[in-house]
């Protein structure tokens, strides 16, 4: 079945550091890919998405590119802030939304 693998956390960075959270997937067909974010005490929020190969999703300074050849959708941000501290989930949607285990990001001031 479809599955998503994310890098294990927690990832701890200093403010203004560069962020990469790796995500790879296994799926039949051509799923849509997503990053969701869960801030402490809050629900899941859609951060960005890409619906086909080579698409780049972007939002709030975060970016991810749908790489069909490497079945990857890595999340990047050039300069993180303390307010970015949260849990980040990579997900795919073939015919249902399947999540990775999540990666905790901690940003220190």
Binding footprint of another protein on the chain (CB under 8 A) = 4, 31-32, 34, 36, 42-46, 49, 51, 89, 91, 93-102
Q: Which is nearer to another protein, 1 or 69 (CB)?
A: 1
Nearest distance from C-beta of residue 96 to another protein, angstroms: 6
Which token pair is 37?
Answer: 């974010």
The residues facing 46 across adjacent strands are: 36
Least distance to another protein from the beta carbon of 69, Å?
21
Contact 84, 107 (CB under 8 A): yes
**How far is Cα 107 from Cα 109, in angstroms, rounded to an integer?**
7
Would you say 5 or 71 has its CB closer to another protein?
Answer: 5
């Amino acid at each position: 079945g479809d599955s998503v693998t994310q890098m294990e956390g927690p990832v701890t960075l200093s403010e203004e550091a560069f962020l990469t959270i790796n995500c790879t997937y296994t799926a039949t067909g051509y799923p849509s890919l997503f990053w969701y974010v869960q801030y402490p005490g809050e629900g899941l929020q859609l951060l960005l998405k890409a619906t086909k190969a080579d698409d780049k999703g972007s939002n709030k300074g975060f970016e991810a590119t749908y790489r069909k050849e490497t079945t990857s959708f890595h999340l990047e941000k050039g300069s993180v802030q303390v307010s970015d501290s949260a849990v980040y989930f990579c997900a795919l949607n073939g015919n249902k939304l399947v999540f990775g285990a999540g990666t905790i990001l901690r940003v220190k001031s």
